[in-house]
Structure 1
Amino acid sequence: MLKTAAKQTSKEDADFALLKKMIKTKLGFNCEYYKDSHFRRRIDVRIRATGSKNFGEYVQILKEDSAECAALLETLTVNVTNFFRNSEVYDIVEKEVLPAVISSKGAGLNRSIKIWSAGCSIGVEAYSIAMLFHHILGNNIKRVNISITGTDIDKASLQQAQQGIYSEIEMKDVRPAFIEKYFWKEGNQYRVNDELKKMIRFKSHDMISGPKMTGFDIIFCRNVTIYFEKELQEKLYMNFYEGLNENGFFVMGKTETLIGPSKDLFKSYNAKERIYAK
């Protein structure tokens, strides 16, 4: 009985390893650094949806069905999000972080501010930041060159971010004054205006294996690294530290914690809201 159970576990592990390898080669999605528990939960969604009994059966479906490949990729990368998610974080960003960065640039005409929204999903974080800059600077917005870069590995999410069209659910935490000023309503959807769009560039970038990005005044990477193994988290936090300008800010997710060398390098700015300074 024990030998049979061990054999089943061994085969299941082998099939899971094969599935991860197939996901990497067939979908271009590197899952080696992610926690197995997270991947198993996401994959189980598709196993149940296809009526597969185990990883082995699901591997066969992936080999034969390109539509299922697309469905799996969407399940692996799906990120439920909305504008100004965790409003208390944005309160500190609006009242303290952005004004500090603006002030640090002096009063000249050629001031530049660079922001990175890492793992930007459908772009709501990048647009939220752009709205706050507009709100704070008012008519002086044209006196500062603000560049916001949103990156992700999911092409469908990036496409929506570039289009800037959102549902009422995604808009639920946007101030009425911001909706009136920065969006066009089209039926049950809302389109971001061009004034915000021109501040942001969305592009495909893998923060795990892609080239390092540097020169930023603020880096936002929220609710992304919780899915990664600790070794990779340590590496990414150091990459973010090195990617910041002196006195720059790093904003992470409320359930995430700095670990590794970066923990001693970053200075806690607001521990409760997980905001750190270089």
Structure 2
Amino acid sequence: MENSFDKGYQLIKAELFRHLRVSQDAYKDAYLIRRIKARMRKLGINSYMEYYKLLKRDRKELDELLFTVAINVTEFFRDPVVWKRFQQKILPELVDYKKSKHQMTLKIWSAACSTGQEPYSIAMSLYEVLGDNLSGFRVSILATDIDRDALSKAMKGEYPKDAVESQVPKHMIPKYFIKDNDRYRVHPRVKRLVRFQYFNLLSSRYPKGFDVIFIRNVLIYMKKEAQEEIFEKLYHSLQDHGYLILGKTETILGKSARLFKLYDLVARIYRKNLEVK
């Protein structure tokens, strides 16, 4: 890999992961090099060692790099086919299952939620599908990320007018947002369904008992070994009837493939494989 053996790059990587609290082999070098080079170009720096020295004396730049590496490009209702399947197939199936078992809880996890558009899209989908029936369920949407700045933006629930108007179906905007000059605020009834929390996907202890887990467009940046560990832990975090929703360019490979059964190839949705010994 070009540049990956450079001493300055290795020092930057060590510094980065010391603060992110993840192991140095978790992310692909190609991804890290792209992110680091983008910061270096912006500052007019050509050498990794020079940039490393800047990181050591300038905490603000280190924070910028941490944000650049951890950031997950996100938007409301990203990849419409996923939301169509979620609203038209998964939620109705889930509700029927819950009613048959006399269980009136819905527990969903948005892992790597970035600035909050995904968990709020989940909450809006629940209102759209269940309407008045939503009050009959105890709903819990856990939204986690490793980036504290992104989480703090997510908790505010304020987004630029252009982003909301170009991403959210028109009929939903007045129902779930409050206009505030050139921004939109997420309506309190949507916000109350979501709980934001710091979480590192490479940690050993995972929350459990979820009906649906969204983990989209984050695993592609990680090495295969790290992905396999995460899939193993996600398997145990899902209820037996649960659904796992990945990003459209992601798939489950290697040893982890036996843990899940494909439910929808186009939308990259999987179910737990209960035959795993």
TM-score by length of 2: 0.92
Residues 28 and 264 from structure 1, CA distance in 2 versus in 1: closer, same or farther, beyond 3 angstroms? closer
Query: What pairs up with 1:88-237 in 2 under 5 angstroms?
Result: 88-106=81-99, 111-171=104-164, 172-237=166-231
Whose radius of gyration is greater, 1 or 2?
1
Check conservation: 1:81, 1:170, Cα contact below 8 A.
no
Distance in 1, Cα, partners of 2:21 & 2:211: 31
The residue that corresponds to 2:243 in the other structure is 249
Distance in 2, Cα, partners of 1:116 & 1:52: 40
How much has 1:216 moved relative to structure 2?
Answer: 0.3
The residue that corresponds to 1:80 in the other structure is 73
| 2:217 maps to amino acid | N
| 1:134 maps to amino acid | Y
Check conservation: 1:184, 1:193, Cα contact below 8 A.
yes
Distance in 2, Cα, partners of 1:223 & 1:94: 20
Query: What pairs up with 1:18-97 in 2 under 5 angstroms?
Result: 18-26=11-19, 28=21, 31-97=24-90
Helix, strand or coil for the counterpart of 2:233?
helix
Helix, strand or coil for the counterpart of 1:32?
coil
Q: CA RMSD in A?
A: 1.9
Helix, strand or coil for the counterpart of 1:43?
helix
Distance in 2, Cα, partners of 1:207 & 1:276: 19
Bigger mean CA deviation after superposition, 73-82 or 108-117: 108-117
Distance in 1, Cα, partners of 2:162 & 2:70: 19
Helix, strand or coil for the counterpart of 1:46?
helix
The answer as to 2:272 corresponding to 1:269 is no
Residues 182 and 31 from structure 1, CA distance in 2 versus in 1: closer, same or farther, beyond 3 angstroms? farther
Would you say how many aligned residue pairs link Structure 1 and Structure 2?
A: 270
Identity of aligned residues (%): 39
How much has 1:265 moved relative to structure 2?
Answer: 2.6
Check conservation: 1:109, 1:143, Cα contact below 8 A.
no
Check conservation: 1:123, 1:150, Cα contact below 8 A.
yes
Structure 1, unaligned runs of 5 or more: 1-7
How much has 1:125 moved relative to structure 2?
Answer: 0.7
Structure 2, unaligned runs of 5 or more: 273-277
Check conservation: 2:55, 2:62, Cα contact below 8 A.
yes
